[in-house]
Every structure is written in C-alpha cells, then in structure tokens.
C-alpha cells in the first residue's frame, strides 16, 4: 500500500468515518494483481459521517474535481441531482499536487451499506486499518456496470476464479 493511501485510511479511522473500500484497490488487497490509481469508497451517507469524511479529505489536501465545495456532497438533494443531471455515479476528490491521487465516493450505495460493511474484511497495516468489500460484493458491483469496461470484464473473471478457488479449498 502506498503511504498516501495508508495515511488516508488512518485518518478516516481516527475520525470515525464509516466506509468500505471498493473497486480496484480492494481487488488488489484480495490478492488479485491489477493496476489501479484511484481509491473507490462506499461511505455511509448519513450527514454526520459525510461531514467527518469531507473534513478528513479536505484536511489531507484533496479537492473536489467538480467546481463545488466538498460540503456539497453532504446534501442528499445534490447527490440525487448529480446522478440525474450529470449521470454521475461517484463524486471525485483529487490531490491537486498529484492528480493521479483520486478518491471516488459513491453517490448512492452500490449495494446496501449495512451488508457491505457486515461482510467486509479488515486489513491491518502499519498504523492503519482498512475495511475492504468482500469478493462477492466486489463481483456484484462489477456485474452492475453496464456496459462493462474491458477492465471490469477482467476483474469479474478474476473475482469469479478467486471465489471458485475459495470454495474448492
């Protein structure tokens, strides 16, 4: 794990942010080799949790890619409008100094958040803990993407293989 990623997870944990890591980095942490540059998060969408989340990412120097304040993410009406009008699935935060460092936050739960959290696993690193979506949930999220991108197809194949191997052992 890159130091900036570990710092993010440590700070989210310290602030009591309820989240689950999804997407490419979660797939990598489940032992599947692939390239990924961004961090995809399902964050509990209650206002208090989102307030803590936006406080952490702002303090770490991330800024919204869209020309809006980070606090706009907290308002459910904004999230609904971005989904409807912009066809957005995520709200992206970018490190202006190193723009490849991106955090994508789902605008609505990709799966019920309580289930994502309950079936997630914790990975402990040096000074941080990260909550990772289960392979089953990662596969379900990838299967919802229509049409799937080439990387999504590869991810689904690798996740299906991992799940088959897990049942065989």
What is the reported pLDDT for 168? 59
Q: Enumerate residue ranges in the chain where pLDDT < 50.
A: none
**Is 167 in contact with 160 (CB distance < 8 Å)?**
no
What is the reported pLDDT for 102? 96
For the chain, the structural domain boundaries read 3-134
**Is 142 in contact with 152 (CB distance < 8 Å)?**
yes
The secondary structure of residue 149, as a DSSP letter, is P
What is the reported pLDDT for 169? 53
Q: Please give the CATH architecture assigned to the domain spanning 3-134.
A: 2-Layer Sandwich (3.30)
What is the reported pLDDT for 16? 96
What is the reported pLDDT for 147? 87
What is the reported pLDDT for 134? 95
What is the reported pLDDT for 146? 82
């Amino acid at each position: 794990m890159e130091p900036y990623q570990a710092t993010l997870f440590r700070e989210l944990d310290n602030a009591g942010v309820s989240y689950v890591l999804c997407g490419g980095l979660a797939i990598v942490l489940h032992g599947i080799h692939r390239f990924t540059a961004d961090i995809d998060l399902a964050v509990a969408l209650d206002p208090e949790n989102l307030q803590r989340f936006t406080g952490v990412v702002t303090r770490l120097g991330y800024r919204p890619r869209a020309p809006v304040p980070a606090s706009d993410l907290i308002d459910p009406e904004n999230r609904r409008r971005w989904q409807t009008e912009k066809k957005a699935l995520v709200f992206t935060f970018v490190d202006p100094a190193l723009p490849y460092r991106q955090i994508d936050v789902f605008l609505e739960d990709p799966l019920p958040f309580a289930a994502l959290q309950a079936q997630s696993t914790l990975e402990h690193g040096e000074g941080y803990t990260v909550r990772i979506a289960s392979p089953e949930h990662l596969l379900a999220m990838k299967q919802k993407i229509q049409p799937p991108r080439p990387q999504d197809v590869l991810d689904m194949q690798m996740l299906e293989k991992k799940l088959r191997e897990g049942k065989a052992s």
